[in-house]
């Protein structure tokens, strides 16, 4: 190993002659060490590699810049379309109000919603209004996704509202099927309408706006009259709940359910299966909480079936 190193050292220390012979003039001769030539070659190699890498990065930068510019153009087109869609949604709200006034309908609120429900809806409306009030250029990725979700939710609400209007108009002539008149479940009634002791252990009386049916898990729940689904999903305290508007001032509420089969805007017929019995939300066990509302007031559901 030592001999090899000594040999390499001698080789690098040797001098070589470099002869330059121009066409005109005298030739020139230089003596250069092999080590110098090696260092010059390494330096040239490094400069060449750095230049190549710089060229590749500059090329990638230009490609990325072009892609970003193209993406900005596409985003501008999308933003313009969304802005146009938002304006159409504003027009549908005005049209909705005008149609309800012409038909003598309430302003889109058929029943007095539970307190928790109203608070949740108010927060959702505030979030939508805040998102809609911003310029799309000022939104980050998360806010942009919320903006899209808000537009989708608003469109679904408007669709459900227009379906309600159509349903209301149709049932002005044929209102019999819009009156709740059957049991939502075949299970036994475990709690009646009116004031009762708080089922969660508090020694106080509390108004019970509906009746409870206690049955087995996943027992079928049916809608009690023809109507349009106003809401289907989670509601504070009520768990998985379904709200159905039947027109003529009637609405029904089905709470603590599971396996919901309908969505907002769906048209349902009396006897259609809409969910199964569960214990979602603030519940002491498997049961269905059922309410009937008439002209904004909770009424005793027992008066509407045998």
Other CB atoms within 10 A of residue 156 CB:
13
pLDDT number for residue 111: 44
**Length of the chain counted residue by residue:** 306
pLDDT tens for residues 89-129?
778 877 877 777 776 665 544 444 544 555 655 665 666 56
pLDDT interval class at 23 (50, 70, 90): confident
Q: Is the pLDDT of residue 241 over 90?
A: yes
pLDDT tens digits for range 165-178? 777 776 665 567 88
Q: Are 254 and 301 in contact (CB under 8 A)?
A: no
- What CA–CA distance (Å, rounded) separates 296 from 110? 6
pLDDT at 220: 96
pTM reported for the whole predicted model: 0.54
Report the distance separating Cα 6 and Cα 10, nearest Å.
Answer: 6
Of residues 204 and 169, more confidently modeled: 169
pLDDT in tens, 269-302: 999 999 999 999 888 889 999 999 988 889 999 9
Residue that has been written with the tokens 């252990």 in this structure: 201
Q: Which CATH architecture has domain 111-306?
A: Distorted Sandwich (2.70)
The rounded distance, in Å, linking the Cα atoms of 291 and 221 is: 13
Q: Quick one: pLDDT at residue 134?
A: 60
CA 146 to chain CA centroid, nearest Å: 7
DSSP string, 12-61: HH-EEEEEE--SSS--EEEEEEHHHHHHHHHHHHHHHHHHHHHHHHHHHH
């Amino acid at each position: 190993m030592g001999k090899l190193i000594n040999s390499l050292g001698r080789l690098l220390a040797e001098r070589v002659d470099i002869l330059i012979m121009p066409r005109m003039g005298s030739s020139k001769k230089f003596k250069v060490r092999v080590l110098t030539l090696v260092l010059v070659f390494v330096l040239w190699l490094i400069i060449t590699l750095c230049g190549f890498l710089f060229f590749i990065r500059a090329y990638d930068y230009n490609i990325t810049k072009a892609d970003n510019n193209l993406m900005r153009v596409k985003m501008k087109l999308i933003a313009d379309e969304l802005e146009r869609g938002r304006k159409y949604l504003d027009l549908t709200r005005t049209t909705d109000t005008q149609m309800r006034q012409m038909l003598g309908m309430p302003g889109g609120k058929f029943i007095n919603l539970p307190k928790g429900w109203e608070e949740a809806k108010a927060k959702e409306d505030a979030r939508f209004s805040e998102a809609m009030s911003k310029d799309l250029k000022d939104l980050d990725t998360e806010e942009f996704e919320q903006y899209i979700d808000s537009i989708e939710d608003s469109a679904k609400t408007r669709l459900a509202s227009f379906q309600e209007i159509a349903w209301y108009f149709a049932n002005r002539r044929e209102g019999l099927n819009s009156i709740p008149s059957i049991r939502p479940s075949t299970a036994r009634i475990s709690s009646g309408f009116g004031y009762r002791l708080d089922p969660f252990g508090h020694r106080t009386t509390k108004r019970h706006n509906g009746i409870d049916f206690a049955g087995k898990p996943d027992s079928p729940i049916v809608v009690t009259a023809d109507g349009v689904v106003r809401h289907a999903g989670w509601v504070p305290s009520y768990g998985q709940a379904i709200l159905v508007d039947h027109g003529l001032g009637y609405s029904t509420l089905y709470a603590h359910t599971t396996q919901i089969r309908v969505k907002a805007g769906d048209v349902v017929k009396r006897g259609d299966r809409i969910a199964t019995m569960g214990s979602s939300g603030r519940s002491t066990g498997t049961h269905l909480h059922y309410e009937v509302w008439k002209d904004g007031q909770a009424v005793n559901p027992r008066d509407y079936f045998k």
